[in-house]
């Protein structure tokens, strides 16, 4: 992880945005989950997210220009049935977003998690203009590029005051200008994903990390592709690859 981040910084000159997209849930009854299945699921869906964010954070802090960190969580992080390990891992990802958001906010870095629902294989065949799919989807089933658009929004300056799920609800109870009991926020204002230039370089350097195609579900691969496509359309520089080191 350390070498991969160093290579990305060397290639792009820094990191303004870090996106981690992962996904592989196994289905089983709680009494039938074995130690190997539990361990692999938490390592792949939670532990590696922590390592990536932990390694990316110092680079973004030292740049002094703020930035955005986004992880792909899941509604299963709130409640899950028949894939207990995946649900527990995604709950951990949501908690990571809260913690990193609390600690990195003073550097102008906002951290969020997107929790997709029943994306399935992408829902791209859902008819346009047909709503109220079911009780779970009162509007329409989410498509892969809908999730990609949510990630892109959270990476942009439009979300510069959104950090950590539900974090804003707690902030109101604290004195203005403080982050809980922590240090005062850094006064520098980030300008991530804008067309401005700093030291002759275009802003908007995006690092993304994903599981390899060998272990990713089809929906995650499609979301991954859509996020990259949206970033390219926005003129952003990209660096990233699979968890197995390819790409």
In terms of Cβ atoms closer than 10 Å to its own Cβ (0-12, 13-18, 19+), residue 166 is exposed
Catalytic residue among 51, 82, 86, 107: 86
CB 92 within 8 A of CB 42: yes
- Could you give the CA distance from residue 67 to residue 64 in angstroms, rounded to a whole number? 9
Active site residue 86: yes
- Could you give the CA distance from residue 204 to residue 152 in angstroms, rounded to a whole number? 12
Which active-site residues does the annotation give?
86
């Amino acid at each position: 992880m350390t070498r991969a981040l160093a290579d990305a910084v060397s290639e792009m000159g820094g990191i303004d945005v870090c996106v981690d997209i992962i996904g592989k849930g196994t289905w089983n009854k709680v009494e039938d989950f074995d130690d190997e299945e539990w361990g692999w699921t938490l390592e792949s869906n939670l532990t590696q997210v922590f390592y990536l964010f932990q390694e990316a954070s110092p680079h973004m802090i030292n740049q002094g220009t703020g930035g955005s960190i986004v992880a792909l969580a899941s509604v299963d992080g709130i409640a899950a049935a028949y894939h207990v390990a995946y649900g527990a891992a995604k709950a951990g990802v949501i908690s990571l977003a809260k913690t990193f958001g609390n600690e990195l906010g003073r550097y102008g870095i906002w951290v969020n998690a997107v929790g997709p629902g029943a994306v399935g294989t992408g829902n791209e065949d859902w008819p346009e203009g047909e709503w109220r799919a079911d009780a779970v989807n009162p509007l329409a089933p989410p498509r892969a590029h809908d999730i990609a658009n949510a990630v892109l929004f959270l990476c942009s300056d439009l979300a510069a005051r959104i950090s950590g799920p539900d974090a804003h609800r707690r902030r109101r109870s604290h004195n203005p200008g403080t982050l809980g009991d922590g240090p005062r926020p850094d006064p520098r204002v980030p300008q991530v994903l804008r067309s401005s230039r700093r030291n002759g370089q275009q802003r908007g350097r995006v690092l993304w990390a994903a599981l390899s195609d060998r272990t990713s579900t089809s929906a995650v691969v499609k979301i991954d592709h859509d996020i990259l496509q949206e970033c390219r359309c926005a003129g952003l520089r990209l660096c990233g690859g699979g968890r197995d080191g390819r790409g």
